[in-house]
Amino acid sequence: MQILYERRIESIETPSIRCYLPRISGSPIRTIGSWRLCGATARLGYVTEAERFGWSFVFHLLVPPDIQEYIDQAALSTPWWLKVDGAFWKHPEGPSSNVDERADHPAVHVS
């Protein structure tokens, strides 16, 4: 079995217990990259919640300076996550960002 999460004292964003995930048919666990998601959403017509809502939360250190002045909300119990209009998997830090140089990075803002 592979340990997925183990709670650390300094973080409140992890599960409170150890979680295990058994291997399924010997297959490794994989993430979906941004470009694979791009193909899947185009083919299936899937629209993520961040796209429907028109915004998503972005970690404060990743918010571009040109957007910071427009931030008006943060998550109540995790104020380092900021509401950024236009943030979704194709523009992970907001409209001025893109995944062109990060095609193999895990897709984010997907639900």
Q: Are 54 and 85 in contact (CB under 8 A)?
A: yes
* Mean pLDDT computed over 39-53: 83
Structural domain of 54: 31-85
Q: Is 96 part of any domain?
A: no
Give me the DSSP letters along 31-62: PPBHHHHHHHHHHHT---HHHHHTEEEEEGGG
Question: What's the number of domains the chain is made of?
Answer: 1
| DSSP 8-state secondary structure symbol assigned to residue 56 | E
**Residue 75: both structure tokens together:** 């998550």
pLDDT band at 40, cuts 50/70/90? Answer: confident
Q: Is 13 part of any domain?
A: no
Q: Is 2 helix (H, G, I), strand (E, B) or coil?
A: strand
- Side-chain half-sphere exposure of 24, counting CA atoms within 13 A: 3
Q: Is 59 part of any domain?
A: yes
Q: What pTM did the predictor assign?
A: 0.68
What is the gyration radius of the CA atoms in the chain, in angstroms? Answer: 16
pLDDT at 51 over 70: yes
> pLDDT tens digits for 16-29?
667 666 666 666 66
Output the CA torsion sign for 76, 55, 97, 34. Answer: positive
Q: Is 91 part of any domain?
A: no
Output the CA torsion sign for 93, 94, 97, 101. Answer: positive
Q: Is 44 part of any domain?
A: yes
